A and B are shown apart, each in its own frame.
Chain A
Amino acid sequence: MISGLLPASLLKMLQRVDLVLLAALSLLVFMGLVTLYSAADTEISTVYRQGIHFVIGLVLMLLFSQVEGKTLRQFAIWLYGIGIVLLILVLMVGVVKKGAQRWLYVGIDIQPAEMMKLAVPMMVAYYFSEKPLPPRFLDILVALILVAIPMVLIMKQPDLGTSLLIALSGLFVIYLAGMSWWLIGGSIAVIAVAAPLMFNYGMHEYQRQRILTLLDPESDLLGTGYHIYQSKIAIGSGGIYGKGWLHGDQSHLDFLPERHTDFIFAVFGEEFGFLGNLLLLGLYIFIIWRGLYIASKGADTFSRLLAGSLSLTFFIYLIVNTGMVSGVLPVVGAPLPLVSYGGTAVVTLMSAFGIIMGMKKRKRIYQTDE
């Protein structure tokens, strides 16, 4: 009896999975593993480990896809509240590594900022789900404060990259909730004015240096500029058709640093060329669009806003990495989502796609079934 039950429930669970999105993600991960095999100098064990990460990610995706929006939204305040408390604790009694205080020791080192990546959009989506939309100015202000608190706390650690990503995930919710275009335009204008001030007074020297290096990478070829310089050479020398799989000189002769993690896009570009890049970026666009499509099919406002925000955050990962590797954005050390080697990133992203899938409105039969 039990043996008959399991497949049945598994089948039921699988119904919650968006097969189109899963197919696209699988294709992307497959392309990632192929590239990784080359980037890791044909060391199959690296590919194998990344495969394991993907399988764990798949399981988590399956589990998260079962969670409905109305269930998840109940946790929003708790998750957010606990997250804020932990962030404050980090600043008070956190573990210092490499000059940054980002971790809490609870038997193991945990990084509370990671959970805020989910907690902040959830909290803002929760807030707006209670309010009439499009949001009133006051509600936007409250939402902005909800975003600003963790952002500032994380910035203090300091961890500029993560704080900006978390802020963006919250801002995406505000945007999707329907913040007026006038306000958006005005905010952008304010940021344009504030950015230079931020550069001069609000940044650490290494962050400033990264931006300066971006503007003129050739100025520091032996230091920070070397990465960008070599990745541009890798991509540029790939040409239209690429040098062929396993034939990238830049990566196989060790000129390309961080090539199986942050700079894997350069390996891909060198070996598969412009056409390969079109395919890869096209696949990414498809995935993001599919995410937004699922969001629009969300069960309720909370579900739509959360799924939309997570899809757009995925896009941010993509643009930050490809922009960095192709030399138009600063070197910030962000992986290419689902392609770069790294367990945490793969598992987190697959879970996020599981959450997106779970936000979709349940079909009637399924609901009556319950």
Chain B
Amino acid sequence: MGERLSIKTERDEQQLFNSRAIVAGLIVLFALGGIMTRLYFLQIKEHAAYTELSKQNYQKHIPRAPTRGQIYDRNGVRLADNHAQYVLEVVWDSVPDQNGDGKKRWNDMQLMLDRLTKIVPLSEKDLRVFGQQVNRRSRYQPTPLKENMTEQEMAMFAVNKSRFPGVNLERRMQRYYPLGTVASHVIGYVGRIDDRDLERLDKSNYAGTSHIGKIGVEAAHEGRLHGQAGYDLAEVDAHGRHQDMIERKEAVGGQDLILGLDINLQLKAEALLKGERGAVVAIDPRNGEVLAMASVPTFDPNLFVDGISSKVYSELRDDPDRPLYNRALQGAYPPGSTVKPMNTLAGLYEKVIWPGKTVYDPGFFQIPGHKHRYRCWKKSGHGGVSMDYAIAQSCDTFFYDMAYRMGVDKFSGYMSLFGFGKKTGVDLTSESDGLMPTPEWKQRRYKQVWYPGDTVNIGIGQGYWLATPIQLAHATASVAMRGKRIRPHVLRAVRTAKNKPEQILEPEVIAQIPARDQRHWEMVVQGMVHVVHASYGTAKRIGVGAPYTIAGKTGTAQVFGIAQNARYDASRLAKRLHDHALFVGFAPADNPQIAVSVIVENGGGGSSTAAPIARRVMDAYLLKKYDDEEPSEEKGEVEPADIVPRVEGAEE
């Protein structure tokens, strides 16, 4: 065997090679058959899936942001608008080689910017922000270089544009509030979408949107204002460069909103509060439309649109007068005597009082068996007090007695029917609940039992009771409507397109407040009319010369407690410690068209400070007297007439 193998024969070797070559050829066939099988799976079996992946690769939805709806007042005055803003943008990849080294480096960008700044001045900040952003983006995507281009800058750039390939002027829509600080708490503002917004919004609809309503109508009606985003389906390459447009879906602009706000009335209210801290809320009681909602001081919402600087923001935030705070919705104040008409209705409903009932006021009230005196504001006492006189004179003793006999449960229960202690549900953001105290609440909050004295205090709108100006206006409007509660709202109508008619929104009736006898409403309203128009009314001065009947109620809310026998000496107290002045009312009393609540923080007495403001708001609205310049001679002067001192820790 071995011998035979050792002999080299050409024929055998040829045959051996041939057989090996054939086997090798078959292996080649087999292996490439394997590759073809693989290709069969990729190209035929899974073709659809890969086609989809390929589309995902090169087709890109470029969102088209809808135009945000505009906001108008009831007269058609524009409150929020969109302005074109021009931004200078740079696409790095399109910036040519500047220094002739054949390469495109940062150095070339720098040289280009140096040339550009001679034509359009670029600030240190522009360059810094641009430098940070340009490195984070694709070289093929535009990066903003300078925002808010002026007419002159745009013209200068346009003339020299050919010298700056890769630099483009882009138009962007920016929110603008033409009236500045006016009604800023109601209108609110938009700001850049942040992480918190991202969590709750529909990302596909906001893909091209940079701003979102942050507060006020802008936030509360974001859904209506924003509109439906469209898109361009474009072909893009691996670097995100756009090649061709495949399909376009136009965006549908947001709805225009027409507010119930009467901007003239709003201006008047804000002017009346000028220099003070306070709020005025005016509601049309017939349909719940908010006619004016002033919170003073205000701020300029335009500051927030493009990102407020932290310095300006901290100035606003740390301002002791708190301009960012919407007093009309967020401010919870003791309602004081303004709620006495509602208290009266509670007493009538719970049969603690009745139309002919009188209470003797010696100048104070005492819980039977206790020594402590709850003082009436009138030290000498009112003597025998009827229901009507109690309202008109704001007799504390009458209401101390009534609340005491009613008990807290019934009292709070009935007051809740007016909406106290709960948000009114007005279509604005950050409304406060206020507080309608109950024994359960006190137990929960302070781990203390409810004392009878607590009931006595809330009988005159003090103690733990807190109400917001909108709650007071709403409750007053409900009295004006004889118990019909209609939800206050700022959005009066919407318009889906410029050429379409307005659709007026239906007012929402919340409830009918029950009364033992419908005539009780008229009696209470009568008492309120006497506040203004009777010779013994606490606000009789504002009734002078009124061509219509006002039903109102003054109130003074204590800021701090004074000792049992101390005298309240307004002139000697710091302004911050002065009482809050309040007034609620509606007019005309027999055909109510406007319900108003006024609060002036540390304004002193309700009759002297708040009531005149209410009168002039009513004049403005009912008589269209928007621009009378009566000197406010009553202001600053504190009348002891309506002061209701309360003693802290009265129960000892």
Residues of A within 8 A of B (CB): 131-134, 136, 172, 175-178, 230, 232-240, 249-250, 252-255, 269, 273-274, 277-278, 281, 284-285, 288-289, 292-293, 295-296, 298, 300-301, 304-305, 308, 312, 315, 318-319, 322-323, 326-328
Of B20-28, B124-132, B319-327, B608-616, the segment with at least 4 beta carbons within 8 Å of chain A is B20-28
CA distance A139 to B10 in the complex (A): 19
| In the complex with contacts A175-B24, A176-B20, A232-B50, A254-B237 CB distance below 8 A | yes
Is there a chain A Cβ closer than 8 Å to B118's Cβ? Answer: no
Candidate in A293, A326, A328 with the most chain B CB atoms within 10 angstroms: A326
Q: Which 9 A-B pairs have the closest CB atoms?
A: A236-B50, A237-B54, A254-B238, A253-B237, A274-B43, A236-B42, A254-B237, A237-B50, A255-B238
Residues of B within 8 A of A (CB): 5-8, 10, 12-14, 16-18, 20-21, 24-25, 28-29, 31-32, 34-36, 38-40, 42-44, 46-47, 49-51, 53-54, 57-58, 235-239, 243
User: Which of B8, B13, B39, B239 interacts with A326 by CB under 8 Å?
Assistant: B39
Q: Is the CB of B13 within 8 A of A253?
A: no
| In the complex with contacts A236-B49, A239-B51, A253-B238, A281-B35 CB distance below 8 A | yes
Q: Which residues of A contact B18 (CB under 8 A)?
A: 296
Minimum distance in angstroms from A161 CB to a CB of chain B: 18
Q: Which residues of A contact B235 (CB under 8 A)?
A: 249, 253
CA distance A143 to B237 in the complex (A): 52
User: Which of A249, A269, A284 interacts with B32 by CB under 8 Å?
Assistant: A284
Q: Is the CB of B13 within 8 A of A235?
A: no
Q: Which residues of B contact A328 (CB under 8 A)?
A: 34-35, 38
Q: Which residues of A contact B6 (CB under 8 A)?
A: 132
Candidate in A237, A254, A284, A319 with the most chain B CB atoms within 10 angstroms: A237
What are 25 inter-chain pairs, A to B, with CB distance below 8 A? A136-B5, A176-B17, A230-B57, A235-B50, A236-B46, A236-B51, A237-B47, A238-B43, A239-B43, A250-B54, A252-B237, A253-B235, A253-B243, A254-B237, A255-B57, A277-B36, A295-B17, A295-B21, A298-B17, A304-B17, A308-B24, A315-B28, A323-B35, A326-B39, A327-B38
Q: Which residues of A contact B44 (CB under 8 A)?
A: 239-240, 274
Q: Which residues of B contact A177 (CB under 8 A)?
A: 20
Main secondary structure, interface of A, reads helix
Q: Is the CB of B57 within 8 A of A250?
A: yes
Minimum distance in angstroms from B25 CB to a CB of chain A: 5
Q: Which residues of A contact B10 (CB under 8 A)?
A: 300-301
Q: Which chain B residue shows the least CB distance to A288?
A: B28
Minimum distance in angstroms from B181 CB to a CB of chain A: 50
| In the complex with contacts A132-B5, A236-B43, A292-B25, A285-B32 CB distance below 8 A | yes
CA distance A264 to B54 in the complex (A): 17
CA distance A238 to B42 in the complex (A): 9
Q: Is the CB of B20 within 8 A of A178?
A: yes
Q: Is the CB of B24 within 8 A of A319?
A: no
CA distance A188 to B38 in the complex (A): 24
Q: Which residues of B contact A136 (CB under 8 A)?
A: 5
Minimum distance in angstroms from B356 CB to a CB of chain A: 88
Q: Is the CB of B20 within 8 A of A319?
A: no
Q: Is the CB of B47 within 8 A of A285?
A: no
CA distance A291 to B638 in the complex (A): 115
Q: Which residues of B contact A308 (CB under 8 A)?
A: 17, 20-21, 24
CA distance A234 to B42 in the complex (A): 9
Q: Which residues of A contact B57 (CB under 8 A)?
A: 230, 233, 249-250, 253, 255
CA distance A136 to B2 in the complex (A): 9
Minimum distance in angstroms from B93 CB to a CB of chain A: 13
CA distance A249 to B56 in the complex (A): 11
Q: Which chain A residue shows the least CB distance to B56?
A: A233
Minimum distance in angstroms from B514 CB to a CB of chain A: 68
Minimum distance in angstroms from B28 CB to a CB of chain A: 5
Candidate in A136, A176, A253, A285 with the most chain B CB atoms within 10 angstroms: A253
CA distance A76 to B42 in the complex (A): 45
Q: Which residues of B contact A233 (CB under 8 A)?
A: 50, 53-54, 57
Q: Which residues of A contact B51 (CB under 8 A)?
A: 236-237, 239
Minimum distance in angstroms from B632 CB to a CB of chain A: 70
Knowing that A237-B53, A269-B42 touch, tell me 14 more A-B residue pairs with CB under 8 angstroms. Answer: A133-B16, A232-B42, A233-B50, A236-B53, A254-B237, A255-B237, A277-B36, A277-B39, A277-B43, A304-B13, A308-B17, A315-B28, A318-B32, A323-B35
Minimum distance in angstroms from B43 CB to a CB of chain A: 4
User: Which of A133, A238, A253, A300 interacts with B12 by CB under 8 Å?
Assistant: A133
Q: Which residues of B contact A315 (CB under 8 A)?
A: 28, 31
Q: Is the CB of A235 within 8 A of B42?
A: yes
Q: Is the CB of B238 within 8 A of A301?
A: no
Candidate in A134, A236, A240, A295 with the most chain B CB atoms within 10 angstroms: A236
Q: Which chain B residue shows the least CB distance to A312?
A: B24
User: Which of B7, B28, B49 interacts with A132 by CB under 8 Å?
Assistant: B7
CA distance A301 to B15 in the complex (A): 11
User: Which of A134, A230, A285, A327 interacts with B28 by CB under 8 Å?
Assistant: A285
User: Which of A238, A296, A319 interacts with B21 by CB under 8 Å?
Assistant: A296
Q: Is the CB of A134 within 8 A of B5?
A: yes
CA distance A134 to B13 in the complex (A): 8
Q: Which chain A residue shows the least CB distance to B54?
A: A237
Minimum distance in angstroms from A308 CB to a CB of chain B: 6
Q: Which residues of A contact B8 (CB under 8 A)?
A: 131-133
Minimum distance in angstroms from B469 CB to a CB of chain A: 57
Q: Which residues of A contact B35 (CB under 8 A)?
A: 281, 319, 322-323, 326, 328
Q: Which chain A residue shows the least CB distance to B235?
A: A253
| In the complex with contacts A134-B16, A255-B57, A281-B35, A289-B28 CB distance below 8 A | yes
Minimum distance in angstroms from B141 CB to a CB of chain A: 15
CA distance A131 to B337 in the complex (A): 124
Q: Is the CB of A249 within 8 A of B58?
A: yes
Q: Which residues of B contact A237 (CB under 8 A)?
A: 47, 50-51, 53-54
Q: Is the CB of B237 within 8 A of A319?
A: no
| In the complex with contacts A233-B57, A236-B51, A249-B58, A269-B43 CB distance below 8 A | yes
Q: Which residues of A contact B13 (CB under 8 A)?
A: 133, 301, 304
Q: Which chain B residue shows the least CB distance to A319?
A: B31
Q: Which residues of A contact B25 (CB under 8 A)?
A: 288-289, 292
Q: Which chain A residue shows the least CB distance to B5?
A: A132
CA distance A300 to B243 in the complex (A): 60
Q: Is the CB of B29 within 8 A of A285?
A: yes
Q: Which residues of A contact B36 (CB under 8 A)?
A: 277-278, 281
